[in-house]
Amino acid sequence: MKKNIAVLPGDGIGPEIIAEAVKVLDKIADKYGHEFEYNYVDIGGCSIDKYGVPITNEGMEICKSSDSVLLGAVGGPKWDNCPPEIRAEKALLAVRKELNLFANLRPTKLFKYLASSSPLKEEVIGGGIDLLIVRELTGGVYFGAKKTENIDGQLVATDIMPYSESEIERIGRVAFETAMKRNKKLTSVDKANVLETSRLWRKTMHRLSNEYPEVEYSDALVDSTAMQLIKNPSQFDVIVTENMFGDILSDEASMLTGSIGMMPSASLSSGTRGMYEPIHGSAPDIAGLNIANPLGTILSAAMMLRYSFDMAEEAEAIERAVDKVLDEGYRTGDIMQENCKKVTCSEMGTLVANKL
């Protein structure tokens, strides 16, 4: 099978971690008889330096014509003072909009070999942590109308949080279908005791649940969910929620594992194309030192194979390879433990590729 992948290394450690993911994808292609064609695109600060914009029209067209997008990281202090309309992060919003990426999938898995890195007590994580947050990505308060006006002599700011029934149904179907592929358990998170948008959210999700009788469905309030993620995270399998709640809860969940460098993510459209990236930033302080953790990016590539290319076997092979490397005690600096073997970014990528 031949697939065209738009590769966006970006800034900071982005090029280093992307190189290791490509190394692993090349090994998959050799082993399973696929052909991956990589089309590289500048994005973020490096694109601002070269072209004066965070992504060019030509670069966007490459993303739109690809089968999927693999992203490293964007931004850094160097570009913090750029005008708002050309900030490095603007490119991410532009790609999401142009590719209609409305569903963000953020898995949180605690590898047993890294259990001591979790901030939670052993008795709390004894059942393991393996959950997936499905976040609506293009609606809600982040994209609603905003204004600041002077009323009675003081500034008053307003942010509108709109959601249509169709937007909720669209992300709800992604969540139910994802639950069907996992353990058939779904928790929908809202604030229906206060917000009108959440009441519509809950009503729509209840209607959808009738179409998926095999899925164990439940509702939860966002503040309660935030507490339960700390108290008993193993009770969750798939969580679906709106944009702002998902932004907050997914960041909270990622820290349960003790290392943000291990966490992949996927942003999906209604078709098969998606954008895949680790959840960490560009880490400019360690850029070029070959010490970054590439596993989040490698696992993001595995998600690309599973969700965009329908290559479940190949995705599982990568995940098993990562598991084996960790089992043998290899660690990058951010996940280093006593009696383990410290390796560089490129060495970690080679180790995973060789396990394939």
CATH match of 1-102+264-356 with 3.40.718.10: yes
Using 50, 70 and 90 to split pLDDT, how confident is the model at 257?
confident
Outline which parts of the chain fall under CATH 3.40.718.10: 1-102+264-356
Label residue 78 exposed, middle or buried (CB < 10 Å: 0-12, 13-18, 19+).
Answer: middle
Q: Does the pLDDT value for residue 121 go beyond 80?
A: yes
Write the pLDDT tens digit of every residue in 7-20: 999 999 999 999 99
CATH number of 119-135+162-257: 3.40.50.2300
Outline which parts of the chain fall under CATH 3.40.50.2300: 119-135+162-257
How far apart, in whole angstroms, are the C-alpha atoms of residue 267 and residue 197? Answer: 23
Which entry of 11, 113, 191, 330 is annotated as an active-site residue? 191
How far apart, in whole angstroms, are the C-alpha atoms of residue 2 and residue 25? Answer: 12
Q: Which residues pair with 241 in a beta bridge?
A: 135, 189
Write the pLDDT tens digit of every residue in 28-51: 999 999 999 999 999 999 999 999
The answer to whether residue 26 is catalytic is: no
The answer to whether residue 247 is catalytic is: yes
Write the pLDDT tens digit of every residue in 180-236: 989 999 999 999 999 999 999 999 999 999 999 999 999 999 999 999 999 999 999
How far apart, in whole angstroms, are the C-alpha atoms of residue 324 and residue 347? Answer: 15
- Hey, what amino acid is at 94? A
- Reported pTM: 0.88
The answer to whether residue 67 is catalytic is: no
How far apart, in whole angstroms, are the C-alpha atoms of residue 97 and residue 244? Answer: 17
The answer to whether residue 251 is catalytic is: yes
Which entry of 190, 247, 276, 334 is annotated as an active-site residue? 247
Using 50, 70 and 90 to split pLDDT, how confident is the model at 110?
confident
Which entry of 251, 323, 324, 342 is annotated as an active-site residue? 251
Q: Does the pLDDT value for residue 303 go beyond 80?
A: yes
The answer to whether residue 323 is catalytic is: no
Which entry of 223, 285, 310, 327 is annotated as an active-site residue? 223
Q: Which two tokens stand for residue 64?
A: 């739109």
Nearest-5° Cα angle at 121, 327 to 242: 90
Which entry of 78, 142, 184, 219 is annotated as an active-site residue? 142
Per-residue confidence (pLDDT) for residue 290, from 0 to 100: 98
